[in-house]
């Protein structure tokens, strides 16, 4: 028996990754086991903050106040509910004082104060039935969580005539971290079996379906080990673990789909497994490499921002992308060599379809007939599809024009969460906001007269309701300013600017929730042009190296950005304005956390480029082979439309599983990116890109002479094919790796 071995060349990278396939997989298994050990306990070392700029004025003032005036920065609040009695009732006051004394004796707790000691109106509910005990838990974030776990059960619940609930920023952060860990485990339990079912539906073969899942698990476990190592040298956000799971599964599926599909195509044409792997790595393998680089570039842009919340997603994202690509380009070829034709084994579709063998799996997964008809329709009506889809995408993005930026607070948690309940009681029932005031740090020698004059100036500012202080210690002092309205709304932010513009005979620094928001917005606004330029320039270069065209990289950047409009519009309409909040189970704070749009853009843009590279590489391969532009566009959509759609649906399932989180930011991230991925695959890649390429015609491939020569020397093409053809498969190789199923 003879088979066509196309192509026979197995040198270079192919020889390296397939020379010892069993050894490669054994080494991978050992490394994965070590990664499990290295990454164990990573969630306990991750932080739940990171939204502030570490170099901002507000950050400096916060640290100085924590050091000099611990009571000025309470992060623990005990809500004392007297029921039908008044908080001024002697029995209630006596019990509250006992609680204050006990809390002050707790290790790691400082600055304990209460309404019953200070009689401060801000610490007493307007109805007189609730009041607050405030304190500060010291130490770094992990130690604060341990202290809270130790003392919260001692104070929570009934104490004589009062009922106590635990809240405050430290409780919010700790409850958020715990909730995210629980939700992530549930998301994985949902996503893994659903992903496997979808892969079986795409591939038909249960054996082929398990390969992407294995690659994803390796990438996720490896990234957890990387994050665990990073926690030794820098802060890492707990939210990054969600991205690790989502991208680990999603990109592993993308890359494995692309490689396994190409491998099965080569087998179906008569190539032996070793030759099929060689062709696959030279074609689909290069596309996967370029795809991984474009995704990594988008995620790397977040390293330009100072907030460790954003930087954490860059750490996790870059690690999981590179590990997924490495596993797909090293481990997957080794597995394919060992499986050979057995990759088509256990074709479960035979249970439902008669007369359709596994050799047809690749073609079936593409849905060639349907995608051929779609390609022909889009090409015939290119102006209609180009203008129509653009108009729809712009319309869906219009709500983002009304975006309002805010900070993450207790409303990220479900309404039943204890710390959320406490903060909501404070918002609804207490005058001003005990946790929403602004602190003005004064540094430098000053007299009481100078302090009094400055206090009069800031009390006269239009946004100030009340000014307390100063509390003086050495050459430092601080004032507390209660703003009008909510803690971080527009009047509070204007008050921050007014406070900073007010002259004083000493150095002043302003902090508080509104000040942190103002500084965060300034930091993002300052670095956003640089990040956008970085993503744009590097993406243009990578797509040029892939295509050799000047116009295609520009189209890719513009159309990718356009594909994200629906996501941004939905984020504002749903999560800011509160539509569907009941259905989705969240509380809308009326704003979007400042860093979230940056994060969602970088992730969604990278994933859009992932699909864009898959489509463009196949179009380029056909154009190089035929020189027919229209046919190349039709062929590219026909051959990758089903693949991209299947990959997008699977990734969307993973993101929706992440979106089932009870934490609003995680829900927004998961559901928003799921929407962006589906819009990109089903609208932009399927309709807008081929329509625009049809309109630009052969000019699509133009490049000036110097750039053409540069591409000829340094660029790559998925369509590089050796011309030599052999017809005899070595008997020993066939026996080893290509036993038919």
Q: Which pLDDT score is estimated for 207?
A: 84
Whether residue 507 sits in one domain with residue 537: no
Q: Where are the beta strands (DSSP E) in 12-129?
A: 76-81, 109-114
Whether residue 599 sits in one domain with residue 661: yes
Residue partners of 45: CB distance under 8 A and separation at least 6: 142, 228, 231, 236
Whether residue 563 sits in one domain with residue 476: no
Whether residue 161 sits in one domain with residue 299: no
Contact between 677 and 265 under an 8 Å Cβ cutoff? The reply is no
Q: Which pLDDT score is estimated for 434?
A: 58
For the chain, how many structural domains are there in total? 3
Backbone angles phi, psi at 383, to 5 degrees: -60, -40
Output the CA torsion sign for 398, 402, 407, 409: negative
What b-and-e string marks burial along 696-726, b requiring 16 or more CB atoms within 10 Å of the CB? beeebbebeeeebeebeeeebbbbebeeeee
Whether residue 182 sits in one domain with residue 146: no
What is the DSSP code string of 245-275? HHHHHHHHHHHHHHHHHHHHHHHHTT--HHH
Q: Is residue 457 part of a domain?
A: yes
Backbone angles phi, psi at 164, to 5 degrees: -115, 135
Helix axes 240-268, 308-326, angle to 10 degrees: 20
Whether residue 352 sits in one domain with residue 239: yes
Contact between 685 and 611 under an 8 Å Cβ cutoff? The reply is yes
Please return the burial class of 108, using the count of CB atoms within 10 Å of its CB with bins 0-12, 13-18 and 19+: middle
Q: How far is the C-alpha of 294 from the C-alpha of 462, rounded, in Å?
A: 49
Q: Which pLDDT score is estimated for 661?
A: 92
Q: Which of 642, 143, 598, 625 is nearest to 363 (CA)?
A: 642
What b-and-e string marks burial along 300-329, b requiring 16 or more CB atoms within 10 Å of the CB? bbbebbbbbbbbbbbbbbbbbbbbbbbbbb
Instruction: Report in angstroms the alpha-carbon separations of 224 from 193, 214, 231, 242.
Output: 21, 16, 11, 11
Q: How far is the C-alpha of 234 from the C-alpha of 424, rounded, in Å?
A: 33
Among 464, 498, 518, residue at a domain's last position: 518
The secondary structure of 416-437, three-state, reads CCHHHHHHHHHHHHCCCCCCCC
What b-and-e string marks burial along 418-440, b requiring 16 or more CB atoms within 10 Å of the CB? bbbbbbbbbbeebebbbbbbbbb
Give the structural domain span for 253.
12-40+175-406+520-714
Q: Is residue 492 part of a domain?
A: yes
Whether residue 530 sits in one domain with residue 472: no
The token pair at 717 is 């093409």
Q: How far is the C-alpha of 678 from the C-alpha of 93, rounded, in Å?
A: 58
Instruction: Report in angstroms the alpha-carbon separations of 483 from 131, 236, 286, 472, 486.
Output: 20, 32, 57, 22, 8
Q: How far is the C-alpha of 250 from the C-alpha of 666, rounded, in Å?
A: 17
Q: How far is the C-alpha of 81 from the C-alpha of 99, rounded, in Å?
A: 13
Contact between 62 and 73 under an 8 Å Cβ cutoff? The reply is yes
Q: Tokens 């930091």, residue?
A: 523
Instruction: Report in angstroms the alpha-carbon separations of 179 from 191, 245, 413, 417.
Output: 18, 16, 8, 10
Q: Which of 522, 651, 493 is nearest to 595 (CA)?
A: 522
Among 484, 501, 518, residue at a domain's last position: 518
Q: Which helix (H) or strand (E) holds 202?
A: helix 169-203
Q: Is residue 653 part of a domain?
A: yes
Q: Is residue 728 part of a domain?
A: no
Backbone angles phi, psi at 77, to 5 degrees: -125, 130
Q: Which pLDDT score is estimated for 432?
A: 65
* CATH code, domain carrying 531: 1.20.1640.10
Residue partners of 399: CB distance under 8 A and separation at least 6: 568, 569, 570, 572, 573, 577
Q: How far is the C-alpha of 45 from the C-alpha of 41, rounded, in Å?
A: 7
Q: Cis omega (within 30 of 0) on the bond before 137?
A: no
Q: Which of 439, 434, 437 is nearest to 62 (CA)?
A: 439
Q: How far is the C-alpha of 115 from the C-alpha of 429, rounded, in Å?
A: 15
Q: Tokens 């304190």, residue?
A: 135
Whether residue 121 sits in one domain with residue 230: no
Q: Is residue 624 part of a domain?
A: yes
Q: How far is the C-alpha of 727 from the C-alpha of 49, rounded, in Å?
A: 62
Whether residue 375 sits in one domain with residue 283: yes
Whether residue 336 sits in one domain with residue 293: yes
Task: Show the low-confidence residues of the chain (pLDDT under 70).
Answer: 1-14, 347-368, 432-436, 716-741
Q: Is residue 730 part of a domain?
A: no
Q: Tokens 């476990």, residue?
A: 221
Q: Is residue 426 part of a domain?
A: no
Q: Which pLDDT score is estimated for 6?
A: 43
Q: Which pLDDT score is estimated for 13?
A: 62
Whether residue 449 sits in one domain with residue 570: no
DSSP state of 572: I
What is the DSSP code string of 124-165? B-TTSSEEEEEEEE-SSHHHHHHHHHHHHHHHSEEETTEEEE
Among 167, 199, 214, residue at a domain's last position: 167
* CATH code, domain carrying 83: 3.30.70.1320
* CATH code, domain carrying 459: 3.30.70.100
Asked whether the whole model's pTM tops 0.75, one would answer yes
Q: Which pLDDT score is estimated for 676?
A: 94
Q: Is residue 59 part of a domain?
A: no
Q: Which pLDDT score is estimated for 517?
A: 92
Contact between 299 and 606 under an 8 Å Cβ cutoff? The reply is yes
Q: Which pLDDT score is estimated for 544?
A: 93
Whether residue 301 sits in one domain with residue 367: yes
């Amino acid at each position: 028996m003879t088979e066509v071995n196309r192509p026979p060349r197995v040198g270079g990278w192919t020889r390296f990754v397939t020379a010892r396939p069993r050894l490669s997989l054994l080494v991978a298994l050992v490394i994965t086991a070590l990664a499990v050990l290295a990454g164990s306990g990573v969630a306990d070392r991750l932080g739940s903050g990171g939204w502030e700029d570490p170099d901002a004025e507000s950050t400096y003032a916060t640290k100085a106040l924590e050091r000099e005036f611990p009571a000025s920065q309470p992060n623990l609040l005990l809500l004392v509910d007297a029921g039908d009695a008044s908080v001024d009732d002697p029995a209630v006051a006596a019990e509250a004082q006992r609680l204050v004394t006990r809390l002050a004796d707790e290790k790691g707790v400082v600055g304990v104060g209460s309404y019953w000691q200070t009689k401060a109106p801000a610490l007493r509910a307007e109805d007189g039935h609730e009041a607050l005990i405030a304190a500060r838990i010291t130490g770094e974030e992990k130690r604060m969580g341990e202290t809270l776990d130790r003392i919260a059960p001692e104070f929570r619940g009934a104490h004589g005539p009062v009922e106590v609930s635990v809240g405050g920023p430290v409780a919010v952060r700790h409850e958020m971290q715990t909730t995210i860990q629980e939700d992530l485990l549930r998301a994985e339990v949902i996503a893994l079996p659903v992903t496997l079912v979808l892969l079986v539906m795409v591939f038909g073969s249960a054996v082929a379906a398990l390969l992407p899942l294995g690659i994803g698990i390796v990438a996720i476990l490896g990234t957890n080990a990387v994050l665990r190592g990073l926690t030794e040298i820098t802060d890492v956000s707990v939210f990054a673990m969600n991205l690790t799971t989502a991208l680990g599964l999603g990109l592993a599926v993308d890359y494995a789909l692309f490689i396994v599909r190409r491998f099965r195509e080569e087998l179906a044409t008569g190539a032996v497994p070793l030759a099929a792997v060689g062709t696959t790595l030279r074609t689909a393998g290069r596309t996967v490499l370029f795809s991984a680089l474009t995704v990594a570039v988008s995620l790397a842009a977040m390293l330009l921002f100072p907030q460790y919340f954003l930087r954490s997603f860059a750490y996790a994202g870059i690690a999981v992308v590179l590990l997924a690509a490495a596993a797909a380009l090293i481990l997957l070829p080794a597995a394919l060599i060992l499986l050979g034709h057995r990759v088509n084994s256990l074709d479960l579709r035979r249970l439902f379809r008669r007369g359709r063998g596994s050799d047809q799996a690749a073609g079936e997964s593409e849905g060639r007939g349907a995608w051929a008809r779609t390609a022909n329709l889009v090409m015939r009506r290119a102006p209609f599809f180009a203008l129509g889809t653009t108009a729809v995408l712009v319309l869906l993005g219009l709500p983002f024009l009304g975006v309002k930026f805010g900070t993450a607070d207790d409303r990220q948690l479900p309404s039943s969460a204890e710390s959320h309940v406490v903060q909501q009681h404070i918002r609804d029932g207490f005058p001003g906001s005990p946790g929403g005031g602004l602190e003005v740090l004064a540094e430098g020698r000053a007299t009481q007269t100078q302090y009094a004059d400055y206090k009069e100036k800031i009390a006269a500012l239009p946004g100030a309701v009340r000014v307390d202080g100063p509390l003086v210690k050495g050459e430092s002092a601080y004032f507390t300013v209660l703003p009008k309205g909510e803690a971080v709304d527009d009047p509070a932010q204007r008050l921050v600017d007014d406070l900073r513009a007010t002259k004083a005979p000493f150095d002043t620094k302003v902090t508080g929730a509104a000040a942190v928001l103002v500084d965060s917005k300034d930091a993002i606004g300052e670095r956003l042009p640089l990040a956008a330029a970085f993503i744009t320039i590097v993406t243009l270069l990578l797509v040029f190296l892939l295509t050799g065209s000047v116009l295609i990289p520009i189209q890719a950047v513009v159309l990718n950005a356009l594909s994200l409009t629906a996501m941004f519009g939905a984020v504002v309409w749903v999560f800011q304005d509160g539509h569907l909040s009941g259905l989705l189970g969240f509380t809308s704070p009326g704003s979007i956390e400042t860093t979230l749009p940056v994060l969602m853009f970088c992730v969604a843009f990278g994933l859009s480029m992932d699909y864009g590279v898959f489509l463009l590489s196949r179009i380029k391969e056909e154009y190089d082979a035929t020189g027919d532009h229209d046919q190349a566009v039709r062929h590219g959509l026909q051959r990758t439309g089903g693949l991209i759609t299947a990959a997008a649906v699977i990734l969307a399932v993973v993101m929706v599983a992440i979106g089932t989180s009870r934490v609003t930011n995680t829900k927004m991230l998961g559901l928003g990116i799921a929407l962006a991925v589906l819009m990109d695959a089903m609208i932009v890649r399927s309709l807008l890109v081929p329509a625009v390429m049809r309109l630009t015609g052969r000019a699509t491939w133009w490049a000036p002479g110097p750039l053409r020569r540069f591409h000829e020397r340094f660029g790559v093409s998925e369509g590089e094919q050796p011309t030599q053809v052999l017809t005899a498969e070595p008997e020993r190789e066939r026996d080893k790796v290509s036993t038919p199923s």
